[in-house]
Structure 1
Amino acid sequence: MFSHNRLGLDEVLLVPSVSDVLPNEIDISAQVAKNIKLSIPVIGATKFATVPRAIKFAEAGTLAILPEHLSTPGNVATIKQINNHYLVGTSVMADDQLMITVNELVQAGTDVIQILPTADQKLLGNNIIDIKNRHTALPIWVGPINDLEIAKQSLLAGADTIIIGTTTSQPLQHTVTTVMNFAEQAAEFDKNVILGSDIQYTGDVVKALAAGAVATMIDEKMITDSISDNLFQISGGLRSGMGYTGSDNVETLRQKAQFVQITSAGLTESHPHDIASIKAAPNYHHV
């Protein structure tokens, strides 16, 4: 895999490879937890998710993580009542009283708990340990985190997945390199990472997966309320990008992908340009 340091998603391209796979033969599903397989490796981020949007994500075979204020037993039950097989994730803030909320969410049927960290790392670690002791099989995702040491301590405490991201409005720096570093650390614990921010194009999803993430989170930067249309387009883009590298599934993409650094001019060339008239795709905002 590409070894250059400190590179972002818009500073690299994937190297094409001889391919004998057809787009409709490519498996874009993602195993994000022992008992959770997504039909597509994109997840609705907490900042974007609402109950109606979470239902749309579930209908498409993936899930959204409800924000803390919407992560209630009632909302989880609402989604499950529509279809008990629908996936739904909830988020909770690290807190001394966390277990009361988690117990209620688990009883309602949440499939994933995302713990939102605070500055108190000891509290975060204790929360992870407490949940794992009570709900052994429940996937615990922790983030957003952009500090490798905090990620390591979370993994040591029992977290299943680290969500890479930042709690500020500033974009994540050197995203490709960051994903590689976090994924390498998580692999030491046989755990996963998800890129939780900075996704704007389908190509960014492919690059994040190639760098080591098992999935990415998406928000209004990439998707509109026409979620079913958006996910259909993302699926096609993923198959196209993976086929470009000769990969017939996400695991193969991670193993064989190679990156090459590009200039800003190269980035411009890689997007549609010099077209007099075009109907914009619902989730493509390049200018």
Structure 2
Amino acid sequence: MMETEVAGLSLDQVLLVPSESNVLPNAVSLATNLSADVQEALPVIGAPAMTDLGMAQAFAANGALAVLPAGGTQLQYVQAMVADDEVTLVGVEVLNEVDAFETAVMLHAAGAKLIDFVLDDNLDQAIDTLRLLAQQVPPLTIMAGPVADAETAHRLFETGIDLVKVAPLPGQPVYTVTTTMAVAEVASEFDAGVVLGAGIRYSGDIVKALAAGAVAVMVDTDIIGDTPADDLFQIAGGLRSGMGYTGSATIDDLRLNAQFVQITAAGLAESHPHDVELTKSAPNYAKQ
């Protein structure tokens, strides 16, 4: 993959600037479009590494989507979820292998709404497969990643896919805020979207990622625990609070209104709750 030197800022190096707001948290809409055909009620996607059938069902029940990992049970799980409700949001991981096109077609026919296509060193092969999928298998929503630079993102969007997932590669780190901004700018040329696939530990991180231009973020066990319904509820509350803090009633408003300010590590620590006696710890909140 193309390498580029990037200098920029990550989620823990910025805060959102508050603004005058008449937006109450309960009036905020958290809906986001992953594509023309797939809308989520909550802008989060469950990472394959943590997703089993139960986790995928929990996400779907809360209006979101989790990606089932590649493997022998994947088709069975897709069929089980669609049998419950044919409009259930189901995502599946597809590896960049010689039979990737056939695998994606089979899973889409079974009911998968989104393909999370995993890139590797063979980018040319991946681009050929993605172009074929985008052209021949509508209305399949296609996300590809990890991507760490805008140049690679541009090549991928040229295939006609819907989403690029921003995440680090070996030897090529991602500055989560700056890289998301750069890739989102490219995505706007193609009427496509960006998913931030790394660095999410708190609901405030999700607000920052959306403000930087992401349509959604990929979450894992850093923020989702053994009670995903409770964790998604807490994430939704944090998002509503953060968006109201910036005067943003929708995610589109957030992208237009938000302003970042750079902070130090000490400033980050100060921004977290402190000097407060907690009677019960939040299920997915811990200073890290």
- With the length of structure 1 as denominator, give the TM-score of the two structures: 0.94
Counterpart residue number, 1:142: 144
The alpha-carbon deviation at position 278 of structure 1 amounts to 4.0
Contact 1:58 1:88 in 2 (8 A): yes
Counterpart residue number, 1:110: 112
Counterpart residue number, 2:231: 230
Deviations along 1:136-183, whole A, 9 cap, x unmatched? 221110011113222211111122100111355x99532111110111
Contact 1:199 1:218 in 2 (8 A): yes
**1:211-230 equivalences in 2 (<5 Å):** 211-230=212-231
Q: How many residues get paired?
A: 282
Residue 47 of structure 1 aligns to a residue whose secondary structure is helix
Contact 1:95 1:127 in 2 (8 A): no
**What letter matches 1:114 in structure 2?**
D
The alpha-carbon deviation at position 263 of structure 1 amounts to 1.5
Residue 48 of structure 2 aligns to a residue whose secondary structure is coil
Deviations along 1:179-211, whole A, 9 cap, x unmatched? 101111111111100001110000000000000
Counterpart residue number, 2:18: 16
| Residue 166 (str. 1) matches residue 168 (str. 2) | yes
CA distance in 2, matches of 1:18, 1:254: 16
**What letter matches 2:123 in structure 1?**
Q
Residue 129 of structure 2 aligns to a residue whose secondary structure is helix
Out of 17, 34, 37, the residue aligned to residue 36 of structure 2 is 34
Contact 2:207 2:243 in 1 (8 A): yes
Residue 29 of structure 2 aligns to a residue whose secondary structure is coil
Contact 1:71 1:90 in 2 (8 A): no
The alpha-carbon deviation at position 103 of structure 1 amounts to 1.9
The alpha-carbon deviation at position 134 of structure 1 amounts to 2.1
Deviations along 1:23-71, whole A, 9 cap, x unmatched? 1111011111101110110110111111110010000011101111266
Change in Cα spacing, 1:133 to 1:277, as seen in structure 2 (3 Å) is closer
Identical pairs, percent? 42
**1:81-230 equivalences in 2 (<5 Å):** 81-167=83-169, 172-230=173-231
RMSD: 1.6
Change in Cα spacing, 1:172 to 1:228, as seen in structure 2 (3 Å) is farther
Change in Cα spacing, 1:71 to 1:148, as seen in structure 2 (3 Å) is farther
Q: Which runs of 5+ in 2 are unaligned?
A: 1-6
Change in Cα spacing, 1:70 to 1:196, as seen in structure 2 (3 Å) is farther
Q: Which runs of 5+ in 1 are unaligned?
A: none
Contact 1:43 1:63 in 2 (8 A): yes
- With the length of structure 2 as denominator, give the TM-score of the two structures: 0.94
The alpha-carbon deviation at position 15 of structure 1 amounts to 0.5
Contact 2:225 2:231 in 1 (8 A): yes
CA distance in 2, matches of 1:178, 1:86: 31
**What letter matches 2:286 in structure 1?**
H
Contact 2:176 2:198 in 1 (8 A): no
